[in-house]
Structure 1
């Protein structure tokens, strides 16, 4: 039983294509869309699909809350659970590349490795910090520790009371998964989604990421 959880906030422009990309994949048994209090037509579009279980939160609670809401539903019956962003469009279909290594028991967790960004973003400081932090604390060298497109065996998710998403928390979760003895595999996918550019908004976002990843790494170093 494979479930895919899609948290969505004001994604009326992309949610239809994102669902279209995965709704006919034979390896997926359940699609759960959690509308995070959108003010547009995201919920109406998602709920128009009979094959999609759609839920709407009363107000915007953040991606982490929406994911955990969906996770409580998926954990009841699923053996394999994946997280996808709502803005992937039809490239969401690439998630099957993340699912099959789990089904074939090649690993316990897969993480999507995106192709190089089409537009200039930051200067790579956040990515380098995340990569070096994971290497220092686990000995493993991963390139995509910031990616939110992931598929898990249920037993891995049971290790966490809830999924702590936020700026850079994926990095902390990756470290915990490896140190608990689970195997992570990065999979190259041809996915695309909204990118943060080299502008004020983009630099503020990356600054927050850098700060929070630093805090997480310092805490884990002090505990080790």
Structure 2
């Protein structure tokens, strides 16, 4: 089975090198595709110096959903399974191996990484609650990691989507659509970590943007029913 890992990144100069190192350590030897969403820091220059990866450089920043869409347009017909990973997980990206195994063993159509509890206080749980209850409302299923960007799909699942949901609502929107179509989704506990946001102004703005994007996705789903 041919496997690819797709990582949309924006201004990840601090983590991207280690994230790629972790992906290269996966025993299944997936092909690695990095979609640079018009980074303004040194991310793209770092990527140019890394061997044995594929870089897709976008000319305009349009968000995570668009970056994933552009990446898939390039690779979807070439692989049997495709994983998504965020650029800020560092060396813990090696844990993606745990998500690949059930796909290869035909135990799941989609796997989602279930992270351990955060190491520092972040928000107040509103975004997670919106994700959990939004998914449950539309599908009847309880998915605790609906916000997780670390996933692996059988390619046939991804081909069922005409477009990827936009912005920070991408994971929740996709999870709802996948479950509605009857695919088998399982959550896999992993020892992964990412760049956690705190309760400062930047962190609050980030979570507010997440909340709004997810809310828009859920409202759109009402009219799709």
Task: Quote the residue 1:197 is aligned against.
Answer: 198
Alpha-carbon distance between aligned partners in 2 of 1:37 and 1:2, rounded to the nearest angstrom:
26
Q: How far did 1:222 drift?
A: 4.5
- Structure 2: segments with no counterpart, 5+ residues: none
Task: Quote the residue 2:3 is aligned against.
Answer: 2
Secondary structure in 1 aligned to 2:5? strand
Alignment pair present for 1:105 and 2:103: no
Task: Quote the residue 2:21 is aligned against.
Answer: 20
Alpha-carbon distance between aligned partners in 1 of 2:216 and 2:40, rounded to the nearest angstrom:
33
The superposition leaves residues 120-179 of structure 1 with CA deviations (integer Å, 9 ceiling, x where unpaired) of: 111111211211121122111110101111111101101111222313232122111101
8 Å CA contact 1:23–1:51 kept in 2: the answer is no
The Cα RMSD (Å) is 1.7
8 Å CA contact 1:37–1:58 kept in 2: the answer is yes
Secondary structure in 1 aligned to 2:168? coil
The aligned length equals 224
Alpha-carbon distance between aligned partners in 2 of 1:8 and 1:219, rounded to the nearest angstrom:
26
- Structure 1: segments with no counterpart, 5+ residues: none
Stretch deviating more after TM superposition (205-214 or 176-185): 205-214
Alignment of 1:1-224 (within 5 A): 1-224=2-225
8 Å CA contact 1:4–1:28 kept in 2: the answer is no
**Scaled by the length of structure 1, what TM-score is found?**
0.93
Stretch deviating more after TM superposition (124-133 or 205-214): 205-214
Q: How far did 1:209 drift?
A: 2.4
Q: How far did 1:44 drift?
A: 2.7
- Taking a change above 3 Å as real, the CA distance of residues 29 and 169 of structure 1, as seen in their structure-2 partners, is closer
Alpha-carbon distance between aligned partners in 2 of 1:198 and 1:172, rounded to the nearest angstrom:
26
- Taking a change above 3 Å as real, the CA distance of residues 214 and 156 of structure 1, as seen in their structure-2 partners, is same
Alpha-carbon distance between aligned partners in 2 of 1:30 and 1:3, rounded to the nearest angstrom:
5
Alpha-carbon distance between aligned partners in 2 of 1:68 and 1:181, rounded to the nearest angstrom:
22
The superposition leaves residues 27-48 of structure 1 with CA deviations (integer Å, 9 ceiling, x where unpaired) of: 1331011222223332232232
